[in-house]
Amino acid sequence: METVCEGKEWDVALAYANDGEVTGALPYLIGSKFGMRYIVQPQLTQYNGPWYRYPKGLSVRKQLQFQYSVDEQLMEHINRLNLAFFSQNFSPNAYNWLPFHWAGYKQTTRYSFRFDPIPNEDGLLELMIQGGRRKKIKKLMPVLMEDYTVSPDEFTRFYMGYWNTRGKRCLMKPDFVKVLCDRAISRGNGLIVGLRERDTEKLAGVKFLVYDSNCAYSLMSAFERKYDVAGISECLVWVSINKLSKLSRVYDFEGSMDKGIEYFYRSFGATPIAYHHVWKVNNPLLKPFWERLGI
């Protein structure tokens, strides 16, 4: 959060047990415009929402009681912020949003795609439901070579150039991209996957991912346009998953509700996983606008 929210205001709502031990947390980015304060997702952050530190040995009934107690404390913290609106994506692990519903929050179901667990190389080939993807990977990979030494500087230049060649403006500043890569890699939680032309060693595509032992997330990708049809996107995903199978347990594509993107992820054999987009509008002037967005 300190990296993706750098230069902005962010904080963490905490819940406590009677002995003062932290039992839950909800990190958030808070913004302000026209005198209205609000909570939204930070850039390149798929999930926030509540996290729970469940005591060991709880029955299902007591787990629910524990969660409800934590959620009440977290919402009390949020209420004290006097927000115009609240909007967050909860992690798939936060599957029960009932206390927020009871408090007047609304919910929309969204989907990501995951490998849980990450398959090995042979298993990934078996899972791929689109034979064309396998053919592209097998044809293109022999003329490329993997490079895991691409620096944050080189990644940033290539990534910003990728947007320029498409005539589009990148929504992120170069300094932000570089700092994000730098910090994640220095902490052992970031990986830049590069693919270079085998004969010229020219960079053909890159992907930046963050991970811990539990889950890996794909954040940014870029590639040379001449390799688009040949399957560079497929190769970047292929190499990244195989590399991360040794570093993490789960691979999250950071899914999209877009039909074309959904098919691309699904074609690798990944499983759709639901998560909650939870929101609440407190300012009555904003409610008609929010409803027009269809959220």
177 & 75 share domain: no
CATH number at residue 157: 3.40.630.30
Does residue 262 lie within any of the structural domains? Answer: no
134 & 201 share domain: yes
Contact 267, 130 (CB under 8 A): yes
Name which residue leads in pLDDT, 203 or 123: 203
Looking at residue 179, its amino acid is V
197 & 279 share domain: no
Inter-helix orientation angle 174-186/152-165, to 10°: 140
23 & 43 share domain: yes
Q: Specify the pTM.
A: 0.91
How many domains does the chain divide into? 2
Does residue 265 lie within any of the structural domains? Answer: no
161 & 86 share domain: no
Separation in Å, CA 293 to CA 244, 270, 289: 37, 29, 7
Does residue 79 lie within any of the structural domains? Answer: yes
Does residue 97 lie within any of the structural domains? Answer: yes
- Owning domain of residue 138: 118-248
51 & 67 share domain: yes
Distance CA 109, CA 278 (A): 9
Distance CA 39, CA 105 (A): 13
Does residue 2 lie within any of the structural domains? Answer: no
Contact 94, 50 (CB under 8 A): yes
Does residue 47 lie within any of the structural domains? Answer: yes
Tens of pLDDT, residue by residue over 170-202, are: 989 999 999 999 999 999 999 999 999 999 999
> What phi, psi does 73 have (nearest 5°)?
-65, -40
199 & 215 share domain: yes
Q: Among candidates 72, 90, 64, which has minimal Cα distance to 13?
A: 72
152 & 223 share domain: yes
The DSSP-derived string for 31-50 is EEETTEEEEEPPTT---BS-
Tens of pLDDT, residue by residue over 19-64, are: 999 999 999 999 998 889 999 999 999 999 999 999 999 999 999 9
The set of long-range contacts for 186-190, using a CB threshold of 8 Å and a minimum separation of 24, is: none
- Which of the four pLDDT bands, split at 50, 70 and 90, describes residue 291? low
97 & 141 share domain: no
pLDDT given at position 290: 65
Are β-strands 36-40 and 85-89 bridged in parallel, bridged antiparallel, or unpaired? parallel
Of 32-36, 38-42, 272-276, 278-282, which gets the smallest average pLDDT? Answer: 32-36
218 & 283 share domain: no
Of 164-173, 191-200, 202-211, which gets the smallest average pLDDT? Answer: 164-173
239 & 288 share domain: no
List all residues 6 or more positions away from 242 whose beta carbon is below 8 Å from its beta carbon. Answer: 120, 121, 124
Q: Among candidates 272, 277, 236, 232, which has minimal Cα distance to 254?
A: 272
Contact 160, 170 (CB under 8 A): yes
Distance CA 242, CA 259 (A): 25
Does residue 157 lie within any of the structural domains? Answer: yes
Does residue 58 lie within any of the structural domains? Answer: yes
Contact 218, 209 (CB under 8 A): yes
218 & 284 share domain: no
Helix (H) or strand (E) holding 242, with range, is helix 232-244
Which tokens go with 190? 């970031």
